[in-house]
């Protein structure tokens, strides 16, 4: 016989209306314009990469849940789908599908499940998958094709950042116009080309308060300050901050990857340090590193500091002495 | 004094007390030189040579080593055999010696070797120490072979230089680089732990 008159429960007693699936599906909805832009610019290649990444992530996740004897219904929380979409959006359109599948398997296993699944991973899973592919298949991962909408028939095509870094684009006057960066009619990864679509999705995320506004703002500020100071000193050699914001993976990284709730700090002070750090590392890699693009590595790099930031920025509890 | 049977003294190095997978010793060469099977094998053999002869010498002169300076004495003995191994490789297998680089001299500070002297040879008879060193060496060589085989096959599509993967295979360059070493070792350690757990539950 059970007595339900008094229910004893430990805190928290408030239950928020938000839940993991709800947040995840909001993120998926916010990615819709980005996915649409990638399908428009890269057509069938984008669709094939997207589907193979999502399916592989789901299958690998299911396999691991089964191996770890965990309930399979957590597949429905949508986190595996997001990893799949985000990974696909960071791949070059000409990548062959088997590489995308390897990347998706690595993202789900090494990026997420070995740490204990959603909520326990240190690094953003999609970026772990991409970093693996970048190191394993460096040539395939840096071969770019022109977007289908551009109707150019060339085998390879430089990204705006690659053009800037390796072709001396400013001196030759071939720097990609900002208008093209904004619409997305440029070479690059599936989801990073169209700034317009990315901003649309980001505004939706911000309006739903799914992501912390401090992260994109902090990255924006530090990248602008960093690249801006070099640009002001020597505009003949360095591109403007606006170019750096619109080109490459900055927008998708700042709004969709650095903001991952699991791998970003929980305390505002830590969040600022995290965000400013990402912007500075992006600037450092883009201006002085061996790669044209540094968004992926800078986010992974700062992800590693998150446990430390959470620890050292913890607010003092009332009554606690400052130095005990 | 160890109370194991002679057989157990040998086989413990292969699995139960495998230096790499169970004791997590000697990880520096395990990670650094397993990018090709030939390197892993050469490193394993060189380490085995040093371990076996150091164990023999330490166990036979253990009565004369004052316990205050025992570590220093072990290091001198180990360094002697490392010098022999290093010069031997440089004289007879210069390409291997070159690709192993500083890792052969670094065998001096390999924890497996010093660990066996401190934990085993200094307390046991010459015969038992030899069996122990042989077992530990075999365990180390097996671990190096396993790791380097996985890394070479995935990273270059070859095994000991022979093509084993078809032309369709695109080498995973990451496997030849440090991240590949860490990922492979991590997965193998997890597997070893899982096998051990399963084996325990069957007993």
Whether residues A136 and B172 touch (CB distance < 8 A) is answered with yes
A288-301 mean pLDDT: 88
Give the list of residues 6+ apart from residue B173 with CB closer than 8 angstroms, or none: A135, A136, A137, A138, B155
Poorest-pLDDT segment among A97-101, A153-157, A218-222, B166-170: A153-157
Please, are residues A74 and A65 in contact by the beta-carbon 8 Å criterion? yes
Half-sphere exposure at residue A167, Cβ-oriented, CA atoms within 13 angstroms: 15
Beta-bridge mates of residue A66 = none
A87-101 mean pLDDT: 92
For the question of an ipTM over 0.90, the answer is: no
How near does any CA of chain A get to the CA of B26, in Å? 24
Q: What is the pLDDT of residue B168?
A: 86
Question: With DSSP H G I counted as helix, E B as strand and the rest as coil, what are the percentages for chain B, rounded to 5?
Answer: 75, 0, 25
Residue A321 DSSP code: -
Tell me, rounded to whole angstroms, the distance of Cα A14 from its chain centroid. Answer: 31
* Separation between Cα atoms, residue A62 and residue A288, nearest integer Å: 42
Whether residues A140 and B175 touch (CB distance < 8 A) is answered with no
Q: What is the pLDDT of residue A149?
A: 60
Whether residues A99 and B170 touch (CB distance < 8 A) is answered with yes
Grouping H, G, I as helix, E, B as strand and the rest as coil, residue B158 is strand
Give the list of residues 6+ apart from residue A22 with CB closer than 8 angstroms, or none: none
How near does any CA of chain A get to the CA of B180, in Å? 9
How near does any CA of chain B get to the CA of A277, in Å? 23
pTM confidence score: 0.87
Does the CA dihedral A27-A32-A37-A40 come out positive or negative? positive
Residues of A in contact with B177 (CB under 8 A): 135
How near does any CA of chain A get to the CA of B146, in Å? 20
Phi-psi category of residue B146: left, alpha or beta, with phi > 0 → left and psi -120 to 50 → alpha: alpha
Please, are residues A249 and A309 in contact by the beta-carbon 8 Å criterion? no
* Separation between Cα atoms, residue A246 and residue A13, nearest integer Å: 44
A296 burial via Cβ count (<10 Å: 0-12, 13-18, 19+)? buried
Q: Hey, where are the domains in chain A? A: 20-139, 160-184+210-308
Please, are residues A228 and A255 in contact by the beta-carbon 8 Å criterion? no
Grouping H, G, I as helix, E, B as strand and the rest as coil, residue B162 is strand
* Separation between Cα atoms, residue B13 and residue B142, nearest integer Å: 10
Domain span holding position B135 = 7-202
A280-284 mean pLDDT: 93
Please, are residues B156 and B176 in contact by the beta-carbon 8 Å criterion? yes
Give the total residue count for chain B.
203
Of A98, A99, A135, the CB nearest to B173: A135
Query: How many A/B residue pairs have CB atoms within 8 Å?
Result: 21
Of A98, A102, A110, the CB nearest to B183: A110
* Separation between Cα atoms, residue A55 and residue A39, nearest integer Å: 17
Whether residues A136 and B175 touch (CB distance < 8 A) is answered with yes
CB atoms within 10 A of CB B112: 25
Residue B142's nearest CA partner among B56, B51, B21 is B21
* Separation between Cα atoms, residue A70 and residue A120, nearest integer Å: 15
Q: Considering chain A, what is the average pLDDT of its residues?
A: 87
How near does any CA of chain B get to the CA of A132, in Å? 7
Output the six-digit token pair for A211. 């992501």
Please, are residues B171 and B155 in contact by the beta-carbon 8 Å criterion? yes
Residues of A in contact with B35 (CB under 8 A): none
pLDDT at residue A310 tops 70: yes
Residues of B in contact with A140 (CB under 8 A): 170
Of A98, A135, A140, the CB nearest to B174: A135
Whether residues B173 and A136 touch (CB distance < 8 A) is answered with yes
List, as ranges, residues 132-191 from B with C-beta within 8 Å of A: 170, 172-175, 177, 179, 183, 186, 190
What is the per-residue DSSP string for A63-116?
HHHHHTT--GGGGGGSHHHHHHHHHHHTS-TT--HHHHHHHHHHHHHTTTGGGT
Provide the pLDDT confidence category of residue A324 given band limits of 50, 70 and 90: very low
Continuous segment of H or E residues that includes residue A158 = none
Please, are residues B116 and B131 in contact by the beta-carbon 8 Å criterion? no
Residues of A in contact with B151 (CB under 8 A): none
A70-81 mean pLDDT: 86
Give the list of residues 6+ apart from residue A142 with CB closer than 8 angstroms, or none: A92, A162
B3-36, pLDDT tens digit by residue?
Answer: 788 888 888 888 888 899 988 998 988 999 999 9
A7-12 mean pLDDT: 73
How near does any CA of chain A get to the CA of B21, in Å? 18
- Percentage of chain A surpassing pLDDT 70? 94
Residues of B in contact with A135 (CB under 8 A): 173-174, 177, 179
Give the list of residues 6+ apart from residue A289 with CB closer than 8 angstroms, or none: none
Of B170, B174, B186, the CB nearest to A132: B174
Residue A229's nearest CA partner among A192, A181, A284 is A284
A126-141 mean pLDDT: 92
Interface test with B, best of A132, A135, A141 (most B CBs within 10 A): A135
B77-104 mean pLDDT: 94
Whether residues A135 and B179 touch (CB distance < 8 A) is answered with yes
Peptide bond before residue A12 is cis, with ω within 30 degrees of 0: yes
How near does any CA of chain A get to the CA of B29, in Å? 22
Q: What is the pLDDT of residue A152?
A: 62
A160-215, pLDDT tens digit by residue?
Answer: 888 887 777 777 777 788 888 888 878 888 888 888 899 999 999 999 888 999 99
The total number of structural domains in chain B stands at 1
Give the list of residues 6+ apart from residue A180 with CB closer than 8 angstroms, or none: A160, A186
Does B2 map to a domain? Answer: no
């Amino acid at each position: 016989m059970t007595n339900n008159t008094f229910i004893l429960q430990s805190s928290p007693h408030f239950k928020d209306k938000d839940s993991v699936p709800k947040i995840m599906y909001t993120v998926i909805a916010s990615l819709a314009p980005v996915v649409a832009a990638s399908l428009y610019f890269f057509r069938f290649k984008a669709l094939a990469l997207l589907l193979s990444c999502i399916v592989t992530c789901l299958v690998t996740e299911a396999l691991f849940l089964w191996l770890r004897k965990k309930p399979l219904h957590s597949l429905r929380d949508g986190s595996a789908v997001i990893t799949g979409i985000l990974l696909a959006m960071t791949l070059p359109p000409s990548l062959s599908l088997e590489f995308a599948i390897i990347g998706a398997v690595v993202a789900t296993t090494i990026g997420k499940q070995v740490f204990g699944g959603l909520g326990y991973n240190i690094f953003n899973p999609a970026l772990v998958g991409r970093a693996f592919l970048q190191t394993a298949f460096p040539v395939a991962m840096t071969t770019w094709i022109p977007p289908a909408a551009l109707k150019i028939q060339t085998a390879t095509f430089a990204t705006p950042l690659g053009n800037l870094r390796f072709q001396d684009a400013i001196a030759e006057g071939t720097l990609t116009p900002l208008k093209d960066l904004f619409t997305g009619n440029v070479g690059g990864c599936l989801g990073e080309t169209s700034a317009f679509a990315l901003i649309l999705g980001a505004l939706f995320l911000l309006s739903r308060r799914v992501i912390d506004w401090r992260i994109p703002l902090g990255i924006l500020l530090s990248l602008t300050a960093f690249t801006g100071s070099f640009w002001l000193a020597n505009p003949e050699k360095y591109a403007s901050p606006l170019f750096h914001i619109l080109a490459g993976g900055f927008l998708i990284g700042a709004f969709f990857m650095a903001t991952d709730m699991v791998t970003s700090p929980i305390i505002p002070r830590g969040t600022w340090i995290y965000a400013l750090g990402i912007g500075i590392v992006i600037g450092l890699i883009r201006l002085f590193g061996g790669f044209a693009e540094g968004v992926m590595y800078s986010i992974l790099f700062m992800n590693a500091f998150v446990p430390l930031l959470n620890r050292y920025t913890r607010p003092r509890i009332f009554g606690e002495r400052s130095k005990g | 004094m160890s109370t194991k049977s002679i057989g157990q003294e040998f086989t413990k190095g292969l699995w139960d007390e495998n230096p790499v997978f169970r004791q997590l010793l000697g990880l520096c060469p395990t990670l650094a030189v397993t990018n090709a099977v030939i390197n892993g094998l050469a490193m394993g053999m060189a380490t085995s040579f040093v371990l076996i002869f150091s164990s023999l010498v330490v166990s036979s002169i253990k009565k004369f080593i004052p316990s205050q300076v025992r570590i220093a004495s072990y290091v001198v003995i180990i360094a002697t055999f490392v010098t022999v191994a290093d010069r031997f490789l440089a004289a007879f297998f210069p390409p291997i010696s070159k690709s192993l680089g500083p890792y052969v001299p670094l065998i001096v500070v390999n924890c497996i070797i010093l660990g066996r002297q401190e934990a085993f040879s200094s307390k046991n008879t010459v015969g038992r120490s030899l069996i122990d060193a042989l077992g530990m060496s075999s365990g180390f060589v097996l671990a190096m072979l396993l790791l380097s085989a996985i890394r070479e096959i995935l990273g270059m599509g070859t095994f000991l230089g022979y093509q084993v993967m078809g032309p369709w295979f695109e080498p995973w360059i990451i496997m030849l680089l440090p991240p590949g070493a860490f990922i492979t070792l991590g997965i193998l350690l997890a597997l070893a732990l899982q096998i051990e757990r399963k084996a325990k539950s069957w007993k």
